[in-house]
Structure 1
Amino acid sequence: MTEDKENRPCLVHPTAIIDPQASLGAGVTVGPYAVIGPHVEVGDGTEIMAHVVLDGWTKIGKECRFFPFSSIGSEPQDLKFHGEKSYVCIGARSVFRESVTVSRATGEGEETRIGNDCLFQANTHIAHNCIVGNNVIMSNCAGLAGHVVVEDRVVIGGMAGIHQFVKVGRNCMIGGLAKVVQDIPPFVIVDGQPARCIGLNSVGLSRAGIPEAVRSDLKKAFRLLYRSGLNLRQAIAAMEQELDSSEEVEHFLRFLRNAERGICRGTKE
């Protein structure tokens, strides 16, 4: 355990167990009975509360918060895992509420990655090899299976389950208890079991500061994809012809072209 370069001391409860090889940054606080393994790196100002376990080859950014009984970096719940060296990488200012679990990756040198400014509410689970972007919110008891990709500013409702290898596009909203088994295009709302696309996430787009003209084009894109009767290939061709180019529209098209599991169906298909 080390003090930071700025000489701001770490505040460690006497009952915490910290391996001497662990690296704690400036002003880190560690609560009662927390356990930190030898390969863990914790960024400046991070708060580790009572009974937290940080294990494996885990790197944590600045000013994160880990609430009681969260477990980060343990071996994945995957029968293909055989003890190889793999990683968890977490960005800055993310919050992990009570009993959140984040598994390290399966595969030598592979990683589970989480971005900045995320909120994982109580009992959420991020499985092995997941990639989670910035400003993601997972509500209580939601779970990501292995190899899921979640882009920026996604909101996942309570108890929702995301199937392995699914990709979730940015600025999406997933309803509580949803069962997601196919890729979700960016900027939409899905709900149900199995999940179906029920509309454009208009409120989320407005809050994200996306200009009105771009939001209008995304509405047209949504109608072409889900309300026109066109198949996916035809809808993409129509979007390319009818929509003005913008970063958001190009991202939407790129996501559709690269969807590997098929996309979530609409309610009127």
Structure 2
Amino acid sequence: MNQPLAYVHPGAKIAKNVVIEPFTTIHNNVVIGEGTWIGSNVTIMEGARIGKNCNIFPGAVISGIPQDLKYNDEDTTVEIGDNVTIRECVTINRGTTDKMKTVIGNNCLIMAYCHVAHDCIVGDNCIFSNNTTLAGHITIGDNVVLAGMVAVHQFCSVGNHAFVTGGTLVRKDVPPYVKAAREPISYVGINSVGLRRRGFSTEKIREVQDIYRILYQGKHNNSQAAAVIEAEMEATPERDEILQFIKNSKRGIMKGYFKTN
């Protein structure tokens, strides 16, 4: 770790086998776990908590102060899990008084030029492709894929195992297990490819499809559809997760896709 061309504040807590490349700056009140590699020209600011075996590429800025005019120098953090790869020029801002932290889960890949704003909570095994942007106070579930140049509105939620196609503007909540696309953002099917890759059975995928047929292809509003799903579909963890997501949605879930002439 003894890289004479990097600056590491004496108050930073760095595991012994962390590699820090030249021209990187690590501020006070930073913790970095074992096996992590920090590339050249990375800036890690106060409040960063970085796990084990992470890779952070040149130009990244971790734990910068929030781009929020209400922020008043509160003692907040960025918490990054284990086995996370953060590519070139990614920016991740620390939290505000809302959650006091911004969180990235384990085994995530955040590609070049992505931005994760204050108070975002990101689950495990997520992939954000190049130039994807998360505004503040966003919740992303586990195993979520956001393709290139996706922009997510503040306070939105994206459910587990969802896939959002490139260039999509996410202004509504995206339920679990689905594919989202088009403008305005719409349901375009379930994420069957991703679910198969993660070991979901054909029967389980069919169950999820049946739930979303009721929600998006039946002649019901969301409350009516949820009541039908609860009454007619067998209780399973997936069914209950979808119903809970709909119930808890604050911005409202995205609509189904209807063709127009």
Do both share a fold (TM > 0.5)? yes
Partner of residue 209, structure 2: 219
Does the aligned pair in 2 maintain the 1:86–1:108 contact within 8 Å? no
Q: CA deviation at 1:108?
A: 7.8
Structure 1 outlier segments of 4+, above 6 Å: none
Q: Is residue 40 of structure 1 aligned with residue 10 of structure 2?
A: no
Partner of residue 159, structure 1: 149
TM-score, reference length from structure 2: 0.97
Q: Is residue 200 of structure 1 aligned with residue 190 of structure 2?
A: yes
Q: CA deviation at 1:146?
A: 0.1
Partner of residue 44, structure 2: 54
SS at 1:185 equivalent:
coil
Distance 1:54 1:204 in 2: 33
Partner of residue 137, structure 1: 127
1:183-217 Cα shifts (integer Å, max 9, x gaps):
00000011123211111111111111122222111
Does the aligned pair in 1 maintain the 2:99–2:119 contact within 8 Å? no
Does the aligned pair in 1 maintain the 2:98–2:119 contact within 8 Å? no
Q: Which amino acid aligns with 1:251?
A: E
Q: Is residue 237 of structure 1 aligned with residue 227 of structure 2?
A: yes
1:98-156 Cα shifts (integer Å, max 9, x gaps):
00000001128710011000000000000000000000000000000000000000000
Residue in structure 1 matching 2:89, options 79, 95, 99: 99
Q: Is residue 110 of structure 1 aligned with residue 119 of structure 2?
A: no
Higher mean C-alpha displacement, 192-201 vs 32-41:
192-201
Does the aligned pair in 2 maintain the 1:180–1:193 contact within 8 Å? no
Partner of residue 5, structure 1: none
Distance 1:176 1:213 in 2: 29
Distance 1:265 1:109 in 2: 29
Q: Which amino acid aligns with 2:103?
A: R
Partner of residue 6, structure 1: none
Q: CA deviation at 1:246?
A: 1.7
1:72-123 Cα shifts (integer Å, max 9, x gaps):
0010111111111111111100000000000001128710011000000000
Partner of residue 175, structure 1: 165
Distance 2:184 2:22 in 1: 42
Distance of aligned partners of 1:265 and 1:109 in 2 relative to their CA distance in 1, 3 Å threshold: closer
Q: Pairwise CA RMSD of aligned residues?
A: 1.2
Distance 2:46 2:97 in 1: 14
Residue in structure 2 matching 1:65, options 43, 55, 63: 55
Q: Is residue 89 of structure 1 aligned with residue 79 of structure 2?
A: yes
Q: Is residue 247 of structure 1 aligned with residue 249 of structure 2?
A: no
Q: Is residue 15 of structure 1 aligned with residue 5 of structure 2?
A: yes
Does the aligned pair in 2 maintain the 1:85–1:109 contact within 8 Å? no
Distance of aligned partners of 1:96 and 1:107 in 2 relative to their CA distance in 1, 3 Å threshold: same
Structure 2 unmatched ranges of 5 or more: none
Does the aligned pair in 2 maintain the 1:16–1:34 contact within 8 Å? yes
Partner of residue 3, structure 1: none
Structure 1 unmatched ranges of 5 or more: 1-10
Figure out how many residues of one structure are paired with residues of the other and give that number.
Answer: 259
1:4-50 Cα shifts (integer Å, max 9, x gaps):
xxxxxxx2321100000100114100001000011000000000000
Distance 1:108 1:235 in 2: 33
SS at 1:12 equivalent:
coil
SS at 2:183 equivalent:
coil
Q: Which amino acid aligns with 1:134?
A: D
SS at 1:73 equivalent:
strand
Q: CA deviation at 1:253?
A: 1.1
TM-score, reference length from structure 1: 0.94
